[in-house]
Amino acid sequence: MGAIPTALVVGLGMPADVPVAWVDGLADGFREECALVGASVAGGDITRSELVVIGVTALGDLGGHAPVTRSGARPGQVVAFAGRLGYAAAGLALLEAGLEPEGGPLLEAVEGHRRPRPPYACGPEAARMGAAAMLDVSDGLLQDLGHVAAASGVGITLDPTAFPIGEPVAAAAKELGADPVEWVLTGGEDHALAAVFPPEVRLPPHWTVVGHVVEGAKVQVAGRTTGLGGWDHFRE
């Protein structure tokens, strides 16, 4: 939404026999990720439960500016993304195939699944550049852009040839005989940012224009209406 991250509040439920070293490792992970943006864990709660359950609330400061929501997209605007797409899906596919790469691009894909790299600075940057709508890509680009289309009452068209395919994604696709574009469009958990901008905005190189906002109510790829794909927590 354009805010600068400030703090996390963590709710942690766990069995009594969880090793202290595991909890220390979890705390280290939170601290290391917070350090990337100058935030910290400000509090939370710990309780006993049969399973390990972690609930995280992230807080941010808009600096007095209005939040960038999903509902501001209008026909004629451009759709762009920042960050990486397809890495987490490629890494998950490798692990599900029973592969544990020891190095090279395949290992980078697996690491992309295990520890994504959200482009934290790009959220406030997009807000400053006048982004009309924005959200992170956690459930797959088609699924998440579908939320923008629905909230804004518009259609979105994407050009599949506009998406760069990272070397780890391409290598994993070759290894498994898969379509890397499918991972880019429907794979979640990379936590890239997708945003809609007025056409006159000059975007820096780390933002890639991949489509346009049009009249309508669907997300289309290469002129064909598609299923939203991606992950839906409540789909049977």
Tens digits of per-residue pLDDT, 69-91? Answer: 999 999 999 999 999 999 999 99
Let me know if residue 68 belongs to a domain.
no
pTM value is: 0.90
pLDDT at 188: 85
Q: What is the mean pLDDT of residues 2-30?
A: 97
What would the pLDDT profile of 28-66 be if each residue is shown by its tens digit? 999 999 999 999 999 999 999 999 999 999 999 999 999
Q: Distances in Å between the alpha carbon of 196 and those of 67, 90, 211, 212?
A: 14, 26, 9, 8
Let me know if residue 23 belongs to a domain.
yes
Give the pLDDT band (50/70/90) at residue 228: low
Q: What is the mean pLDDT of residues 152-174?
A: 96
Residue 13 belongs to domain with CATH number: 3.30.1330.10
pLDDT at 232 over 60: no
Which of 61, 91, 107 is the endpoint of a domain? 61
Let me know if residue 66 belongs to a domain.
no
Residue 168 lies in domain: 78-225
* Residues 142 and 190 reside in one and the same domain: yes
Let me know if residue 70 belongs to a domain.
no
- Contacts of 212 by beta carbon, 8 Å cutoff, 6+ apart: 76, 77, 78, 79, 156, 157
